[in-house]
Chains A and B, each alone.
Chain A
Amino acid sequence: MTGGPAREDALALRGIVKSYGSTRALRGVDLTLQPGAIQALIGPNGSGKSTLVKCLAGDLRPDRGEVLLGGVGRPGFASPTQARSAGVSVVHQDPECFEELSVADNIVIARPPRRGVGPWSVRDRAATVAVASRVLRRVGADIDPRERLRNLSLADRTLVAICRAIVEDVRFLVLDEPTAALGRDDAERVYRVCHAVREAGAGVLVVTHRLHEVVTHASRVTALRDGAIHADLSAESSSVEELVGLVADARSGRKEVVGVSPRDRAVVVSTHELDGDGYEGPVDVQLRAGEVTTVAGLPGSGANHFVRQLCGVAARARGEVRISHPDAQGAMGFVGESRRDEGVFPDMSVLDNMVIAAIDGPSWLPIRRRRLDARARQVAEQLGIVTASLDAPISSLSGGNQQKALIGRWVVADISVLGLEEPTNGLDVGAREDVYRAVGDLVGANKAVVARCTDEQEAAQLGDVILVFTEGRLVASLPGDATPGAVLEVSTPIVTHRRGMNES
C-alpha cells in the first residue's frame, strides 16, 4: 500500500489488475500521482511498467481496479481520448510523429486551430504557429515551429512529443522512457521541460531505467516488480545504489538452470576495430565456442547497434568481423528482438518455420523434407516446444514456444554462432528458464552465443562474459560471476568513470 492519502486533486490508481491470457502483468497496483511533483517509476523489464502506462493512457482497460481523478472513480479510461479529456496525457516510448508535417502541425494535431464557423471553418495556420510557439517557449525549447519534423534531432522530437501532450490543459503528464535513446545533455533538456510542467502545477510520472535521473529530478520513486509495487519512497533521500537494489531481483538465471560454462575454448568470432553508427569504436572483442557473451547496456547505449553489426544484420561503418568457420555465410544465426516483425512467419507451420533456414539444394527440386522434418521434430522435442501439432501455424503458439522455435530454427540449420536480442523479451518465468536451457544446450554443443540484454539481471545471469555499453562506448568486460548490481552500476552513466575497461 503506497502513495499516502489521496488528495482531491491527485490521480490515484487503486488495485489495478491486468492479465494477458494466462500472464498476469499487473496484480493489484496502487499508485498515487500528486500534482506539482515529479514521480519516477522504475523496475526490471517485464515488471509491468509499460502495462501500467498503457492503463493510464487509456490504451488498455484494467481487468479490475479503478482510476480516481478529481474525486471521480472509474474502471480505467475507455480510450486515449477520454484519458486526455480528463487531463492525463501520455508520451509513449518512440512516440508516433508525423514526419512530413511541421513542428507546429505536429503539436496541434489533435485539435488544429480553426477560423470560421462550424462546417465552414478552415485551418488557421497563423494561430497554429502561435499556439505551438507559445508551448515551445513555455518549456524552453528552442525549436522553429515551421521546421519539418523529419529534420529534427531525436531529442527535439522528444520535446515536440511532450509539447503535443501538454498543448491542451494537462493535469498529469506520463512519460515512458523519454530519455532512453538520448545522451546526457539531451536528457537534461527533457527534464527541464518536466520541471516546467511541474512548476505549472501538473503532476509528472517518468518511467525510466536511468536511476541517476531519478535521484536528481524526481521527488518520489516507485519500484515495480512482477506486476506489483515493490517499494515506494522519497527519491530525494535515496541513492543510486539503493535503487539498484530495488530494481535487481532474484530470478533464476541460466547459471542456476544449467551451470557455468567451462572457459578457455577456441575463438570463433573476433571483431577488429569495429566501429559504426550508434556507438563509438574501435571495438575488439572475441566470441568463444561454448560460451555465452552477453552485451549489456541501457537503451541508447549502443549495445543494440553493436550486436546487430557483429551479427552482420546491420551495416558497419568500419572494421571487420572475422569468423573462423569454413562456411562463414551459413555460420551465424540471429534471433531479433521482435518475434513478430523479424522472427516468425505467422501463417507458416511451426515445422516450416523451423526448417526454413536449413533448406539447401536447388530451388526447383523438391525439398528433402523427410530428413529436415525429422531433425526439426527432434529439436522441437529437445527444446520442449509445447504445441498440439508442429503442423499448426506458429502464430497459435505462446511467445515462449515461438521463441524456442526461433532458436530451434538455427539449431536445425546447424550454425556455429547464434546472436540473440532480448532473448526472453515478454516471456514469463517458466518460458524464460526454457530459453536459458536452450541457450545452455547450444553452448553445451560448443556453439558460441552472443546475447544483447538490456536487463542487467539477465545479462549477468546468462553471460560467461559480460560486455557493458554506456553512452555509446564499450566500458567494461565483466567476468561471468559479476552480480546484476555490478552490471547495472557500470551501465549507469553517472558512475562510468569509476571503472575502466577490464581486460577480456
Chain B
Amino acid sequence: MESRRVYVDNNATTPLHPEVKKAMLEAMESYGNPSSLHSFGRGSRTLIEGAREKVARFIGASPDEIMFVGSGSEGNNTVLSILTCNPGGCASCRKDGGALVTTTIEHPCILEASKCLRENGMDVLYAPVDSYGKVDLAALEGLITGKTGLVSVMLANNEIGTIQDIRAIGDMAHAKGALVHTDAVQAVGKIAVDVKQLGVDFLTLSAHKIYGPKGVGAVYVKRKSPFCPLIRGGHQERGRRAGTENTLGIVGLGKAIELRAVEMEDEAKRLLAMKARLRAGIEQAIPDIRFVGHPVDCLPGTLNVSFDGAEGEAIILYLDLEGIAVSTGSACASGSLDPSHVILATGLPAECAHGSIRISLGRENTEEDIDYILDRLPGIIKKIRDMSSAYARRA
C-alpha cells in the first residue's frame, strides 16, 4: 500500500477546521481592544460576545456564565484555585474552602494543581477507578463529606476515552453541599454535553481539541457560584480573568463550536464505525494485545491498545516513519520516566502502560487511513517483538 500521512492523534490536538480558519482570518482585521468604547473596540466586543453566545448555547448555559481563558489547563487551575481563597478574604467565596475530592485519572493539570493544594495543607482525596477507567462511585461517595468544598471529575478521559457518569457524581456532591467541576476538554464537541443535564457548577472546555485554535478555552461558571479569579488586574470577563481578550482565538472557538453543533452527531457515528473496524482489524492481525478503556462509555474516536512485549516509544516512532501519528503511555515518551498514570489506575501492570498506544480519530480521517494503519501496524509490532527480550514468540 502506498505511503501516506495519517494523523490519528486528535486527542492531543486537531487540525484547524477550514471554516474556523476563515473566520479567524476575517477576525484578524479587528484589532480594536474589546474594552475600548470606540467603534474599533466595539467591533471586537461584538465578535467576542457572538462567540460567547455560541459556546453558551452549545452546552445549555447562559452567555454570562461563560468566561474565556487561555487554555483548558488554565480553566482547570482557575476552578481549583477557588478553594484557596482565604476565609474572609473574598466576599464571593465560600468561607471555608474545604477539601477537594478528585480522581486518579485526571489530566496532569488537575493532578498537579491538586498536589499543590495538598502541599499547602488542604485535604485532597483521590477516588479510584475500575478496570475500564470508570470512577468507583461507592468509593467516591465515601470520600465526600460535609467538609468537601469541591468535587472535580473529568467527563471523558484523554488517554482511554472513558466517559464518567457526572450526573450521579454531581448529585452525590451536592447532597453533601460540595460544588462540582468537570474537566470536559475531551468531551465538549465530541459527545452531547449539557451543563443543566450534568448538573455541574463548573465546566472546562478547550478549542484546539475540536478543530479550533490553540491557546483558548472557556469555563462555565454557574450563576451565583462562588468564584475567585486566578489572574487578577482587570475587569475583563466580568472581573473573572484579567487580560485583554484574545479576540482571534475566541472567534475561532466560537466558530469551532458552531460547527460542532452541525457536524458532531454524524461525525461521531462515522468515527465509531471506523474505530470498530480498526479495533477488529487489530484484534485479528495481532495476537497478545489488550484494549484499555470502556467498551461502550467511550469517546467515539478514541482507541487505546496495549501490545505485550513491545515498548510504546519504539512503536510510535516506527509508526511515525510510516507517516502515522499516534501517542503512547510509555514512560520513555513522557519525559518524566513515569508510565501513564491513567493505565496504572485501571489496575493494569506498568508493562501494559509502557506498551500502549492511543489512536484518536478525527473529522479528517478516512476509511483509507484505517486501511493504511491496518496495513502497517502488524508488521511494526512483529518487528519490535522479534527483537524484544520480553516477548516469548507464541507458536
Asked if chains A and B come from one complex, the reply is no
